[in-house]
Amino acid sequence: METVQALRQKLLSIDGKGYGAYKGVQGGYNSGWFQIFIDHVQADPFAPPSRLRARVEHRFSGFPRELFVDRAGRVALQDFVARELYRQLKSQQPAERAGTGKSGVLSIDRCGQEILERTAILVTADFIEARFSLGLPARGRTVQGKEAAGLITGTIPGSLEKCLLYKNISKDDLKAHVDLVRDQEFLRGSLEERGLVAFVANGSILPRESGISDRPLKGKTVVPFLSPPDLEIEFTLPVRGRIAGMGVPRGVTLIVGGGYHGKSTLLRAIERGIYNHIAGDGREMVITDGSAVKIRSEDGRRVESVDIGPFINNLPFGQDTSSFCTENASGSTSQAANIMEAIECGTSLLLLDEDTSATNFMIRDGRMQRLVAKEYEPITPFIDRVRDLYSDLKISSILVVGGSGDYLKVADLVIKMQEYRASDATSEARAIIDSTPDFRVVESTGAMGRPSPRVPIPVRGGREDRVRIKARGLEQISFGGDEINLAYVDQLVDPSQTRALAQIIRYAYDCYVDGRRSLPEIVERVLQDIREGLDVVSPYARGSHPGDYALPRGQEIAAAFNRLRSLRVCAPGKK
Ligand code: ADP
Ligand code: MG
């Protein structure tokens, strides 16, 4: 490997030449305590910036092995350093642009409120590596070699020194970060043995700053969460020790209350409790079963051979619902498909909010049952399936229901929100059921079965290079001529997850979609490979820079597959 000193000479020697001369600096360079790799050189000053990696071996980085022996510790350490380096690089930006296009712009993937496994920082047994990008400086189309040398051999090593060497970072803050994630993982891992599907610690701050910000709401009006006494439960965490809060048991739980009293906010916090959150987020001790899936209606989505029979049958003109296909699902059929797909991929908790559900999917009341006979109503509403889901498939539900009292009858637990305070209204609800007449007839038609897993069909010629794959923001992936719309996949939280998803779909088609493996098997295989590192799905050469991916769950991988408009499956019953 050449030395960083030699790189400096190279950069100085191309000063004033055409931009293409930068191509010559691609490669790896050693500087003793760190190595720098220029993996990709941008074609011009306006193109996406060049991709670099910097690696520091642990004999120089000094990070104690204890911090990253386990997955939780490693992810926390990576996340901590990514945040530090993000701040550091940001502070390095000159107030005004030094050159043309993205000249001199240094950046690394940005972390949000969640602590996710990412490719921005990689910690292995041997080294820590940062993946970032740099706009190689130019004036017009002319190389600014001196500036480039200054950045690569001055500014960047300076930043690495501050963020990638244990001795220079705040040891207490790092330890607190690692401890927090270990406690969160411990808590999530303990839910099951305590018979719970979710836990909301006392003192949690659930509301967010605004509809477009994921930061906590601040100010005197914020009401911290406090568990109703009957539901209060204690955990002893490995680091933090004793912690108390509301335990949501398995079964069917309703969140009721007046409009604007905090129902959806509680559910949304629970929905995000599948992820670990940073200290100060307010939801760091809101922990949910990792397989939980938010279910909502999503009219307009495509559905590929999903058995929605448990919820919908007898469609007009005898359309098949055991292998239901549509290019344009309705509110209720899309919600049914979302549930059946979540079950196919393996979930033990469904989360539904009346705000984002189709009314006719949720309920058909006694009067409507009399007016429209069952044989002319294809929908078996969720109210008549929610108990079967639990008794037959052990799938719990948490539902926000402010509008329909009929639901009280199917609930094991009723949490009432009033002025953002939770109380246990279960006995009150039972008393009301006993003292009021019931007009409804239960419409459930037999036991809830598990859908047979569908088998995706390979695309002729593979999906690889011929297809242009691009993630756009959080919600869109374009896949060749195809669009995947993820706007209604509520538990996808980070654009870096979307970028990873785009590559995961391609990788899955290349490696595992063979016309025999089922969708859940394919997802499982991909996740197994990713356990070795998210880099495996990168389209770049091995060991090269994929620095802006974050790990999605299997449920979101399946959700992306299911929303691929060109997905074709051979379902058992498909004609
Ligand atoms: P609902 O679903 O019951 O209609 P929301 O959960 O949407 O109500 O909450 C209504 C408003 O109250 C939102 O603006 C939300 O940010 C705010 N809010 C929710 N919980 C709290 C709380 N604990 N403290 C202060 N404001 C809150
Ligand atoms: Mg609401």
- How confident is the model over 63-96, as pLDDT tens digits? 999 999 999 999 999 999 999 999 999 998 876 7
* CA-208 nearest atom, ligand 1: 16
Go through the domains of the chain in sequence order and give each one's CATH number: 2-169 (no CATH), 180-446 (3.40.50), 455-570 (no CATH)
Would you state the pLDDT for residue 320? Answer: 85
Best of 265, 267, 351 to mutate for ligand 1, by most ligand atoms within 8 A of CB?
Answer: 265
263 pocket-lining for ligand 1 (C-beta < 6 Å): yes
Task: Report CA(256)–ligand 2 centroid distance (Å).
Answer: 10
Question: How open is the CA angle 451-456-458, to the nearest 5 degrees?
Answer: 170
Would you state the pLDDT for residue 459? Answer: 80
Task: Report CA(250)–ligand 2 centroid distance (Å).
Answer: 22
Which of 143, 135, 148, 149 is CA-nearest to residue 103? 135
Task: Report CA(219)–ligand 2 centroid distance (Å).
Answer: 21
Nearest CA to ligand 1 atom 6: 262
SS (H, E, C) 78-103: HHHHHHHHHHHHHHCCCCCCCCCCCC
In sequence order, which residues have a C-beta less than 8 Å from that of residue 16 and are 6 or more positions away? 142, 143, 145
Would you state the pLDDT for residue 575? Answer: 42
**Contact of 386 with 253, CB cutoff 8 Å:** no
Rg of the chain over all Cα atoms, to the nearest angstrom: 27
420 pocket-lining for ligand 1 (C-beta < 6 Å): yes
Q: Enter the pTM of the model.
A: 0.96
Task: Report CA(247)–ligand 2 centroid distance (Å).
Answer: 21
In sequence order, which residues have a C-beta less than 8 Å from that of residue 55 and are 6 or more positions away? 34, 35, 36, 37, 127, 128, 129, 130
The ligand minimizing its distance to the Cα of 421 is: 1
Task: Report CA(353)–ligand 2 centroid distance (Å).
Answer: 7
Measured CA to CA, the distance from residue 57 to residue 60 in angstroms comes to: 6
In sequence order, which residues have a C-beta less than 8 Å from that of residue 469 and are 6 or more positions away? 477, 478, 479, 480, 502, 503, 505, 506, 539
Which of 421, 481, 402 is CA-nearest to residue 231? 421
3-state secondary structure of 260: coil
Burial of 139 (0-12, 13-18, 19+ CB in 10 A): middle
Q: Which helix (H) or strand (E) holds 295?
A: strand 293-295
Question: Which residue ranges of the chain lie beneath pLDDT 50?
Answer: 463, 573-575
552 pocket-lining for ligand 1 (C-beta < 6 Å): no
* CA-266 nearest atom, ligand 1: 6
Task: Report CA(259)–ligand 2 centroid distance (Å).
Answer: 7
3-state secondary structure of 186: helix
Would you state the pLDDT for residue 316? Answer: 82
Helix ranges (H only) for 137-170 are 145-150, 156-163
Nearest CA to ligand 1 atom 23: 223
